[in-house]
A = this chain, B = another copy of it.
Amino acid sequence: MTWQSVRFSLPPWIEEVAPQGLVLPTLEERMRFVIELANRNVKAETGGPFGAAIFEAASGKLIAPGVNRVIPSNIPTAHAEVMAISIAGQMVGSFTLAGAGMPAAELVTSSEPCSMCFGAIPWSGVRRMVFGATAEDAEAIGFDEGPKPHNWIEALEERGIEVVAGFLAEEAGAALRAYGEGGYEVYNG
């Protein structure tokens, strides 16, 4: 074991659910896709009940998926959004999705971002962020969302990042509640 590097890996099943070349034209499809990532991650016991993905906003072409991998990877930063943002950089070969000539990108996530993932969004270069379940839904089953600014949505919008809050929140919240009722491990509770 050395500290030269650490690999952030999605579960082996990701290529089944998220095949290369996937295009999801509507926001409903994109949100249902990340909810399915969250549900599949729980069923496969490959991480926490959170899914996220980055798409080309206009076409719906999937740039990178992500699921929570904290416990199985022993990586505290391996939240679904950080996974998707980090993998997206690799996929497009750029440290920002807002580079000259790039199509506008959006982050869709099954649950309101925590303090870390919120803070990562401006560095990703996405132009829009859409979340499903709210922090209250996640906190209701024992997850801790961390200390965000009270005006965090405005803080993103001031930076030119549109926010869509609570989209398909009922479906997204159901995935969290199923996890809570399943008696799975909740970290940082």
B95 touches A6 (CB 8 A): no
Interface residue SS majority, chain A: mixed
A86 touches B95 (CB 8 A): no
Chain A interface size range: 35 or more
A98's nearest neighbour on chain B, judged by CB, is B188
Inter-chain contacts of A7 with B (CB < 8 A): 5-8
- A96 to B91: give the CA distance in the assembly, Å: 29
In the complex, 17 of the A-B residue pairs with CB atoms within 8 angstroms, ordered by the A residue number, are: A2-B20, A3-B14, A3-B18, A3-B91, A6-B8, A6-B89, A6-B90, A7-B7, A71-B95, A76-B85, A76-B123, A77-B86, A95-B187, A119-B119, A119-B146, A119-B148, A148-B149
